[in-house]
Copies of this chain bind each other. A is one copy, B any other.
Amino acid sequence: MEQLKQRIRSEGIVISDKILKVDSFLNHQVDPQLMHDIGTEFARRFADSWVTKILTLESSGIAPALMTGLALRVPVVFAKKRIPSTLTQGFYRTSVFSYTKQETTELIVAERFLGPADTVLIIDDFLANGEAARGLTDIVTRSGAALAGIGIVIEKSFQPGGALLRERGLRVDALVRISRLAPGDIEFDEEAR
């Protein structure tokens, strides 16, 4: 997705060989029009998958997931990182490890929002080690829903998450893939798919 590459080139800041900061348009300040175009692109790629529900996790996944749900005309569910006070009925729960934060987080989804009748598209902002995506696929499996695939805004393809998920036979579609981060230098893979 050329528009996204250009934004990463002009606004992305390489913090380390593993960490790219894109908080001016993706995960602190958000560009709604870019998110809209991202949602439209995911919807185009998964147009034939009969998706009934988008699944993401709070907070940075919400913007691209919401716009994908708008384009596909399906509800968006975001996994919570703690049990809401109002969640009194059953829920799916799994643990994921964040390498960036060096801590384990829980992902929680109310049972009544995912079930065997659903076909789920998982959306997230970044794919690095793949822990968040793995946790979300766990929840989809437990719910009995089908998984259409995983849509990622930015995949860091030099980290193992994408390969691990694809080895399991899952469809992983990244809008851009970054193969290397160095001071002042961001290298892209050729367009994903």
Task: Point out residues on A near B: beta carbons under 8 Å.
Answer: 13, 15, 19, 21, 23-25, 27-33, 35-36, 58-59, 62-63, 66-67, 69-70, 73-78, 80, 84-88, 100-101, 109-110, 112-113
**Alpha-carbon separation in the docked complex, A70 to B29 (Å):** 13
B-chain residues with CB within 8 Å of residue A19 when the two chains form the complex: 85-86
B-chain residues with CB within 8 Å of residue A87 when the two chains form the complex: 23, 28
Q: Contact between B78 and A59 (Cβ–Cβ < 8 Å)? A: yes
**Alpha-carbon separation in the docked complex, A85 to B33 (Å):** 26
**Alpha-carbon separation in the docked complex, A113 to B59 (Å):** 18
Q: Contact between B77 and A29 (Cβ–Cβ < 8 Å)? A: yes
Q: Contact between A32 and B75 (Cβ–Cβ < 8 Å)? A: yes
Q: Contact between B30 and A66 (Cβ–Cβ < 8 Å)? A: yes
**Alpha-carbon separation in the docked complex, A32 to B70 (Å):** 5
Q: Which partner residue on chain B sits nearest A98 by CB separation?
A: B85
**Alpha-carbon separation in the docked complex, A86 to B87 (Å):** 32
